[in-house]
Chains A and B, each alone.
Chain A
Amino acid sequence: MTIDWTHFTPMTALTGGIMIGLAAVILILVNGRIAGISGILGGLLTPSKGENAWRVAFLLGMVSAPLIWVVVAALPAIEIDASTPLLVIAGLLVGFGTRMGSGCTSGHGVCGLSRLSPRSLVATTLFMAMGFVTVYIVRHVLGGV
């Protein structure tokens, strides 16, 4: 294994991670809700009384982050190399899979591991492992798509 020292950003990664943790803690302690993005978005597709407005407000906050950011500083790079067909397949898999598995990187990865949930540990291990395998196949077996 070779570490990519030119792209490795330990300080900003930790700082950003702490902010993500803080956001999840605010939502659970103040509102009593889990900051799982797939659950919040997916929950809006089957609207339930009293659970819709806060979900919309949370998602608006997320969408506003880059809009407020650009007022203060230049946006960091967002490089999306995947082709349109690949993005569609990836999006379908992420949408279907996160609903079926009841969570994504935020719900299982951040909130679930913070709660020491065995279910979330299993889910996080599996989706990370599958992410590693998929990138290995795409980049090193198929030679990039």
Chain B
Amino acid sequence: MRTLLFAFISGLIFGVGLLVSGMANPAKVLGFLDLAGVWDPSLALVMVGAILVGLFGFTAARRRTTSLLGHPMRLPDSTVIDRRLVIGALLFGAGWGLAGFCPGPAIVALGAGQAKAVIFVAAMVAGMILFQVFQSWEQRQHTALGS
């Protein structure tokens, strides 16, 4: 129960942080991504603020084997920089630049009752499902080639 409560609190603070910072507003995010126009550097400061706090928290997290509630620490251990990471990041960046939405802000805008955010989130979930279909197709190809 406490696990769920803290997950909820974390999501809530995350969402409020996005609203406070203005990052739930795609127009403001696009103002940052538009380097050639009149540039709004706000997003860079959001990252600075978040990472300053994160550096301390994640350094402490790395020293632990279990979380404060006794869960195993699920810190990513992959260090491979492969084609999947590169192409995935580029596709995401293109989508981010087209609408000014990344996953977090879109979910907050959905909560704010924005009809266009509902459309974006639905398409985003469809894109996630599409990737799973692609991935299982790729695995089948791989197995077929291997046999």
Contacts and interface: CB of A to CB of B under 8 A. Distances in A.
B24 A76 contact: yes
A97 B92 contact: yes
Contacts, number: 500
Interface of A is mostly: helix
Given A26-B10, A89-B95, A12 B20 contact: yes
Given A100-B91, A126-B89, A94 B7 contact: no
B114 A138 contact: no
Interface in A70-117: 75-82, 84, 86-102, 104-106, 108-115, 117
B141 interface: no
Contact of B51 (A29, A55, A57, A113): A113
Size bin of chain A's contact surface:
35 or more
Interface in B8-35: 8-28, 30-31, 33-35
Given A16-B17, A18-B50, A88-B123, A94 B10 contact: no
A8 B44 CA distance: 11
